[in-house]
Each structure stands twice: as structure tokens, then as C-alpha cells.
Structure 1
């Protein structure tokens, strides 16, 4: 089969090569899947660079999130059948940037019929991260105010849509004026460009005296610092990631005197430790997708042969929404 493999660590454009690889062999608890579309994620970039917590042996095929058609079931897999259209996570080193991949049954879900293959491929990681972060961790309620950083990106647009589906007022922060329309089209009520000047002053003006009840932060660094200055009494800051490259060192005395919570979110742990949470999140997201309340923002559908360049653009912060690589 055709596949992209990483033979050395570095930037995707430099280290990924197209190869003819053997078909993956399905093991217990896994499914072999024909890849219909692969949604690119920042962890894919980090994995290719060797900066991710998961470091597969070389060579490996990246692509941690797909929509596909089930070809074969491993021992112990129930609830799926050959021919099913599914979405979810892959079992790297047999990732989604290939004609076929492996998926763990615990990270595989039925694909919603209301979404195209490209859209469905992007429904799992970003949207479940947003849903579990906002619903289970932060208990966001209708009428509250949600602040979303990096709101034009994949997980950011998901958080905006999930926040609106929950009935929140959403204030979105983006990295440039060119990205403002993406966050606005995702449903944000107010969009702020952090490159335009004093972000804290702009946030205080948009949020008012009450501040943000919930902050969704996949950025870290200066974005986290700004959030602590505008978080509400009994507010909740959900720490999702550190795309800025800077991991904050929270001042716990500040959290104490302002009475706010700092909540970590590692969504993947739910697949291992409390799968019912992920299953319930998927069911709600499918219902919202069918009702037109959420729809992954696919900014570009990339031909299979152009996958390395798309990953490089994602890593450079040049993309909005989701970049999706079509099946080979």
C-alpha cells in the first residue's frame, strides 16, 4: 500500500517520504481500516519532530485521527462490522497517512451520516477535547461566558461551536486579523485579535467586570497569563495544551485570592480509564452534528501526495480550522 513514513525526526517536509509499505496486520482489540480521510493534528507535527510524549520507533506513519471503512476486526472487537464507516484515533506506527491504518477499538466510533468523510475525520480529537473540557471538567452552563484562545484553529473552532451549543456567550481570541472571520463563522459572539495591541485591555473591555466564567486554553504562555487577569469569581481555566511552546508556572496564591480553578485536560486518558465519558461525548456530538449545531471547519482538503507540506503549514501556525488529507 502507499504510505507516508518518517525515517528521521525533523520538519515534515524534510523527513517524510512516500513508500510502498506492507499492509498492517490487525491484532487483538484493533480494527484494520481503509482510510477515507485523515484530519491533521498538532500532535502529528510534534511526533514527526520527536517532541511528543509518544515516540514511536522509526520508521512510522503519522496521522492520529481518521475517517475510514472497516476491513477487518481483531480478536475481541465487538460493536463493529466489516464495511462500517468509522471515525476515531489510530494506532501509530500504523497511522492514517496511508491507504490502510489500524485503529484501537477503544478509540473508534460510528461515523455520523450527516458529515462528509473530511468533516467526520475531524470530529473525534478536537471536538471531544472541547466537549469533555467544557462539560465534564469546567461544567459550563447556559448563560455563562466562555473565553477561547486560538479560536481559529482546529480545537479552538470546536470549542467555540461546543460553547454555543451549550448556550454560552463566546469571546474568541485569534492570532491575526486574517483569522478573525474563521472564529466568527464558527459562532463566536466577540472576536479579538491578540496581535492588534494590549490583549488584557481588550479582554477586559469585551468581558466586562464579571470576567470569563470558563477559559479554554490550548496555547499557554502569554494567553494563560492574560486569562488569569480576566477570569471570573469561581471561574475555571481549562488547560488543554501549549502550542505557544511556553508552559506556564501558575501562581497558586493568585488562584487562591481570586477564587478560580485551574483544570488540566488530557482527553486521551478517558479512552483508557473511563471510556463511557468519551462514548457519551461522541453521542452528543453526533446529535449536535445531525441538528446542524456543530460541523468541523475544514479549511482545506489536501491530496494525499501533499501531506508533508500540509503538516509543515500546520506546525508553522499558518492554517485555520482543520487540514484534511484525502485518502490515497
Structure 2
């Protein structure tokens, strides 16, 4: 893990940890200390399955000196939760999508920069008024810990970062109304949805379109955590700061205010197709500042440092995938 211990909003957070001996265990984080919760729950996902009751119990345990406590700095921080399913929102940050659309208008359609940007802004205004979110599925096998190395496959060269606010579902629901949606959120965490851009489109299957599986779901391509911070301790998830540094250079630095569809709308839309269950992850989209925008991509030896207000930090070094043939 990083030299500086990650911090969290509120009096406590949840995570999954490993000591020098023994297997992973769910833990209650209070500042620099972690209470082993394995005497109450087997996993953090199990905690979310009875979230309302669990939250009250966790509040009591945070002030109880009993149980087994560890120093956070002595533990390995793992991804906080193993989700049932991962739902990912695409094209959900206004400035990011405007940049993409404007670039396409210039390069493909020959528009001037001013015309291209004005056209893109009109499109996003209309999308916000009458459009719907774009959601796809990710693989839980892509998850890695917030301080693990990210393995870059030899197939493809344009490995890109996409730092995102992610929410964890705490109640089962289908066809959830927008007005009720926030009550289904147990808490929030950080996800970095890494994408190999030059493997996103299949030249042999142009009519089919994007290949999300290949481009986004390689092992370690979803650094997650460090913690699950209860929603009650994040007073305004629609205005938290998302910041990513690549080799020390700030690349993403945006407020979640820039989301086209807010969290409640994303939950409403996702639940119109699939039942949301406790422990599911819903990623809310990536703000502007990806590598494609800067014309630089990840390579072995690079380091990504990421943070979202109140949720902690990530630090991932990039290495060549040793398993690649």
C-alpha cells in the first residue's frame, strides 16, 4: 500500500483486509485502526445484505473496544467488496462527451472548432433533457486492490485510465422510482475503469461495434477501493472531486456536478432492466481528462494516483502482464 494511510469521511468505513497470516477478512475502519468483523459477518457483501440493520450495529462496534483490532498500516488493503454484478455508465460526463463529439465533428465532418463544440453542446443539452443513460456490464474478475500493480496486456497499446465514483447497492429493488433511488445506496467507493482504446473496436466485426469485454475486463483493469464509505457520511455525492495523477501530472480533476444523468436517474434506469441486489456496484462514469484526450497512455513503469473526496486514495503502478504469451 502507499506510504500515507488513506483516510475516509465520517466516523468509520468498511473494507476487506489481510494480515501477514490468515485469509481476507471484513473490517471496520476507524481512522488508523481496523476491527475484524469476521466474528459477525463473513464478507463486506454480507454486511450490505441487511444494510439498515448492519449500519446500526457498525455504529455500536465503532465505539466498542472489544473484539480484535489491528493497526491499518500493518494490513494489506484489498478491494472492499466482491460485487454480485458491476454496472458501468458510459458517456455520462458533459465536458468529457462534448470533447469527444467535438473532436469527431472536426476530424470526420470538417467542422470548425467553434462549430464542432457548439454542435456537441447542443447534443448534450438535448440528451440531458430527453435521453437515457448508457449502461453496460463489467466483470468482477477485473477488480484488483487499490494499491496493487495493474498488468498491461501486450495486445493493444492505448491503455487508458477512467477514474469514477462508484456506489454500492444496499437494498434489493426493481423498477425503482427516481424519488426513492438514493435510499437503495449503501455507500460509495472508488473505481478506475481502465480501457485499452485500440481494442475497443473489432475491425473484423465493424457492424457489431464495441468490444467491451476485451477492452475493459483484463485482470487488474478495475482498481477498487480502498473503502466502502457509508452513504450517510457522504452528504452530497453530486458534488465530490475526482482527481487522477499520471506520473505526478494531474490528468482528471472534475466535480461529479458534471454528470449528465445523476445517481438517482442511473439507479432508476438500471433497475428498469435488472434487479439490483445488495453488494452490486454501479459506476457513474468518467469525467474529462482521459489519456486519449492528452495523447498519452499507460506504459510499464507508470504510476496512477487517484482520489475522490472523502473516499480515500488509490496508487497503482503499471507493469507488463507476465502471463501474456
Q: Same fold (TM over 0.5)?
A: no
Q: Which has the higher helix share?
A: 1
| TM-score, L = length of structure 1 | 0.23
Name the TM-score, length of structure 2 as normaliser. Answer: 0.24
Q: Which has the higher contact order (CA 8 A, sep 6+)?
A: 2
